[in-house]
Structure 1
Amino acid sequence: MARNDIEDKLDQLRRIKSGGDLNSVKIDQIVILEVEIRFLRTFIKCNHVVSPDSLVKITKIAQLIMEKVHSVFDGIPDEYKNNHNLERGVFTLLESVQGNTNLRYNYELNDSDMWNIWIASIRT
């Protein structure tokens, strides 16, 4: 997911938070969700310095954020759900994390294969 897409989703959360008849609990949930999406965004940007084990944990965090989106939207008027397709945005964010994880593992696998080929060429 591009940086602009993430920023758009965060803007949508801000509009939902400020634009309706929400109680303080819902507003607090939205604030926490904003923080979690920013946290996830940071690791998407910096995935090249994150260990493979951490990428797996980040994917799990992204899945938890998806679940949180559903709980936050319970009780929010449908007009906000329809106008601000946040669930789709978080799903795209999750796909991005999983894609980065898969690319990272593929890169390591390819690097390992190259290493084995190089070792084999030295021995012959």
Structure 2
Amino acid sequence: MQVQGKDAMHAARYSSPLDCALKALQSDGVCGLLRGGLATLFREAVGNAVFFCTYEYSRYWMHNFLDSPWFSSGNHLVLANDVGIGIMSGGISGMVFWTATLPLDVAKTIIQTDPDPHLSRNPFQF
């Protein structure tokens, strides 16, 4: 739905998400609804593994750094550090997630939006 009608040469193919789903079912069957599903699965599996490993490691590293003698100010708040560490770890992990998964996301988009039904569904061939 989001990529249709982006140029002036082509009119919109679908009038609504329901119309899109019905036309996909008519032309390709149930497989039409699942087009790009394998690429999405790879993207989410790799991305979530990278995200949570990065999150836990960066959180561990930051806690160790704040508790080390290098940063022994002694008057920092524990709650404020936990919130700040969580925010920083989440931000770092989000950046690493998209760095690792952007190529798979591009392959998924190509698979899902290509009108050729005989296009390879392998996300590693793009």
TM-score, normalized by length of structure 1?
0.34
1 or 2, which has the higher helix percentage? 1
- Answer with 1 or 2: which has the greater Rg: 2
